[in-house]
Amino acid sequence: MGVAPMPTQHGPGRVSLSGGWMLSVGAHSDTPEAAFDFITLLAGRERALQYAVENAQIPVREDVLADPAYTEALPTNKAFADLLTVTEFRPTQAEYLMVSSRAQVAMEDVMTADATPAEAARTYASGLRDDLGEGRVRDRG
């Protein structure tokens, strides 16, 4: 199995979308220093590496991103990390969540041999028409 980046809308090129996560101290914390110390501990190199490897996450630290323990943990880690150079912020609109969910289902259907790529693409487009409306989805070939 291989990994292929999403093409850009008008090609050639590739694009990736990211969400993200963060650790923070609440403004009303009774113990902000202890909370900050805890975050510092969690965000340290070793724990960040452990989190990225065990949870198949793209690291937020460049030293972890370059660590062979991360890049070699899964065959896809390096490929996904390499997409950071073309990553855009993931939109928060409800429509994006629908598109993303439908893409995941289509991919799963192909990977589990429940559909051919062409069948999955047709089901994906049909589902998007249901979610977004006929006028917002175009077939391309």
DSSP class of residue 7?
E
Helix or strand holding residue 115 (H, E) = none
Tens-digit pLDDT profile for residues 40-78: 999 999 999 999 999 999 888 999 999 999 999 999 999
What is the number of other CB atoms lying within 10 angstroms of the CB of residue 116? 11
- Give CA 54 to chain center in angstroms: 16
| C-alpha–C-alpha distance, residues 133 and 40, integer Å | 46
pLDDT tens-digit map of 5-53: 888 878 788 888 776 677 888 889 999 999 999 999 999 999 999 999 9
Total-model pTM:
0.64
Alpha helices (runs of H) in the chain, residue ranges in sequence order: 32-43, 45-55, 62-65, 68-71, 77-82, 94-111, 117-132
Cα–Cα dist 132/19, whole Å: 22
Helix (H, G, I), strand (E, B), or coil: what is residue 106? helix
What contacts 103, CB < 8 A, 6 or more positions away? 124
